[in-house]
């Protein structure tokens, strides 16, 4: 496969508002896995949609704002579970804030299920990436907005309210497969497929995720991938 000199790290967001998903991606060097087409990141739906409703939007914003991000402070984030904030468990019994073993197991299981379908090797958990993701997510607790990190890692983000589990999160990412065309290595116009390609990127070997309950009660989920995928002009597998 041909490696471009300019690597495209697509950094991807999904927003889930009351069950409605809104996806957004940002890429460095002009990526092909979700385009820089329409929309803003807003797209908060008025109607209360079913939990599977799915919608895409692209941020016009490229890379490098969010200056302070790549080393997101050392606030205690490793096991924030029983802090002051009324943290609980999601419907799968996994922490609304931070990780537990079940969350890690579910994240790997879902990623590796979809990877197996594409005949690519499974991912392993990477504690470095998990720490980074958790710490970075903590910095978004206040705004609870999809501001991407400037890490060199692949990145899938999701924001939402209510009813979120790791399984449904990764399932939604993989569901973008329907927007992806392997032959031409493109997404449907105006659609996202970069979360999916990140999940199944063959040369990615590890993943680490974080999760916070925002101050407003919404959820922010983040997974980082190493080595990163979504190189411009390269097929995921």
Ligand X SMILES: *[C@@H]1O[C@H](CO)[C@@H](O)[C@H](O)[C@H]1NC(C)=O
Cβ of residue 58: shortest distance to ligand X, in angstroms? 26
> Which residue is at the shortest CB distance from ligand X?
126
Regarding 17 and contact with ligand X (CB under 6 A), the answer is no
Give the tokens for residue 87: 């943290």
Regarding 234 and contact with ligand X (CB under 6 A), the answer is no
The single residue among 175, 205, 233, 235 that binds ligand X, judged by CB under 6 A, is: 205
Q: How far apart are CA 24 and CA 115, in angstroms?
A: 22
Q: How far apart are CA 80 and CA 88, in angstroms?
A: 11
DSSP string, 97-112: SS--HHHHHHHHHHHH
Binding mask 31-70 for ligand X (x = CB under 6 A): ----------------------------------------
Binding mask 145-184 for ligand X (x = CB under 6 A): --------x-------------------------------
Nearest to 204 by CA among 60, 108, 135, 134: 108
Q: Is 198 helix (H, G, I), strand (E, B) or coil?
A: helix
Place of tokens 């983040």: 222
Regarding 129 and contact with ligand X (CB under 6 A), the answer is yes
Binding-site ranges for ligand X (CB under 6 A): 126, 128-129, 153, 205-206, 226
């Amino acid at each position: 496969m041909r490696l471009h000199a300019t690597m495209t790290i697509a950094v991807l967001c999904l927003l889930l508002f009351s069950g409605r998903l809104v996806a957004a991606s940002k890429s460095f060097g002009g990526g092909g896995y979700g385009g820089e087409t329409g929309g803003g990141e807003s797209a908060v739906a008025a109607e209360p949609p079913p939990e599977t409703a799915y919608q895409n939007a692209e941020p016009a914003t490229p890379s490098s704002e969010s200056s302070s991000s790549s080393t997101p402070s050392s606030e205690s984030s490793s096991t924030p579970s029983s802090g002051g904030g009324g943290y609980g468990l999601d419907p799968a019994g996994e922490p609304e804030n931070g990780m537990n073993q079940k969350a890690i197991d579910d994240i790997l299981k879902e990623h590796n299920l979809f990877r197996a379908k594409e005949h690519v090797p499974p991912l392993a958990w990477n504690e470095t990436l998990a720490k980074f993701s958790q710490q970075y997510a903590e910095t978004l607790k206040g705004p609870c907005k999809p501001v991407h990190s400037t890490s060199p890692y692949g990145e899938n983000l999701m924001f939402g309210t209510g009813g979120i589990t790791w399984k449904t999160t990764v399932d939604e990412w993989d569901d973008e497969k329907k927007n992806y065309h392997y032959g031409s290595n493109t997404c449907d116009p105006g659609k996202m497929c970069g979360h999916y390609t990140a999940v199944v990127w063959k040369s990615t070997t590890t993943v680490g995720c974080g999760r916070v309950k925002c101050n407003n009660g919404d959820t922010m989920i983040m997974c980082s991938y190493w080595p990163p995928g979504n190189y411009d002009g390269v097929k995921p597998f």
